[in-house]
Structure 1
Amino acid sequence: MNSREIIARRIAKEFNDGEVVNLGFGMPTLAANYIPNGINVILQTENGGLRFGGAPKKGEQNPDLGNAGGEPITMLAGGSAFDLAFSFCIIRGGHVDTTVLGALEVDQNGNISNWKIPGKFVPGMGGGMDLLVGAKKVVAALNHTDKEGNSKILKSCTLPLSAAGVVKRIITDKAVFDVKESGLELIEIAPGLSAKDIQNMTEASFTISEAVQEMQIG
């Protein structure tokens, strides 16, 4: 199981029955394939879709229907597609319970950087800024370290921020943190790792929950 699948599977366990959930492009959209049986959430995509499921089987894709990353989706009974303006009425109106967004960096104060890629031209942060301030709960999903092994969970973000102090939970391939007023709290650790391992690979300061448990990715 690679890091993307680990993160996607853990994201899928984040949702509560009946929630409206927005999945950002990248690893978050993969979570639609792993939502547990019995958990019924209304998935929303910022490009204009409501109530969809996982990826369709090969050959059954509808080219007119896709998620935030342009990947094909399966519409469920009662689902709908609509224009971007209406989609952002949902987001800006505070109707999204949880949004899960990818990130380049997050820090111990709940700040998130997820749009400015060093050395690359990007037109802007897009709908991320609306989701970060419009959703009731913001979850950041990212690899714990970069390709060189440097922590992406920082004391303070170094890249331009997308929003400040909005992240409530951080999910990586190695751990899960809650963001509290006092800072980060480690609540889950990936199988085969220890709290000491997480400390060694994390720049940010954090406390360890008395109820810390193994990360559930099955």
Structure 2
Amino acid sequence: MTEQGRFLVVEGLEGAGKSTAVATVRHWLEAKQLPVVCTREPGGTPLAEQIRTLVKQVHDEQLTAEAELLLMYAARVQLLRNVIEPALATGHWVLADRHDLSSRAYQGGGRQLDRKLIDGIRQAVLGNCKPDLTLYLDIDPAIGLARAQARGELDRIEQEQLVFFQRTRQVYLQIAASEPGIVVIDASKPLMEVQQSIVAALDAFWEQGHATLA
């Protein structure tokens, strides 16, 4: 019987260093010779990638907050059913650049949508599925946006005002403080220190899992 895989997620605001963090986690997994599937949200399947384009690009017509929320969950359930759940069932570890916590922070905090609305959609679409470990890269939104701007042209969401990202960060931190399985990483520190914090969180997660099995 194949052992169930584990679901790891990297979260954070623009410019927090998610791509580098994902690479760090992947290296850690590969060093342990664990089979890994990497993906991202929104996206991760051909259809979900098309939804990503709709969400990210600037339109002449305003995309409403509610439509944005529904598009996010449409992409998410495509990814969950077609990639994440099959991979976990075959013993693969899934490493995702963003998952459900992003919608709770960005649409719930940034867009200020009713949390009951989001929770209702979450339950209907995701059920009891949730990550085994989430690494939230925390950074001052002003610093993160400056980093994002230095990379080049900003997408539709990255063009939001600073206060949008301040609200988003606040919800990230509120949820991280109240729910287990979310580790806050100070992404403002030098890269090597951030990577060390990530590896320490992964090592602790690994040891806890083996202690439970024992």
Band of TM-score, shorter chain: 0.3 to 0.5
TM-score relative to the length of structure 1 = 0.35
Normalised by the length of structure 2, the TM-score is: 0.36
* Greater RCO (CA < 8 Å, at least 6 residues apart): 2
Structure 1 or 2: more helix by fraction: 2
Higher percent of residues as strand: 1
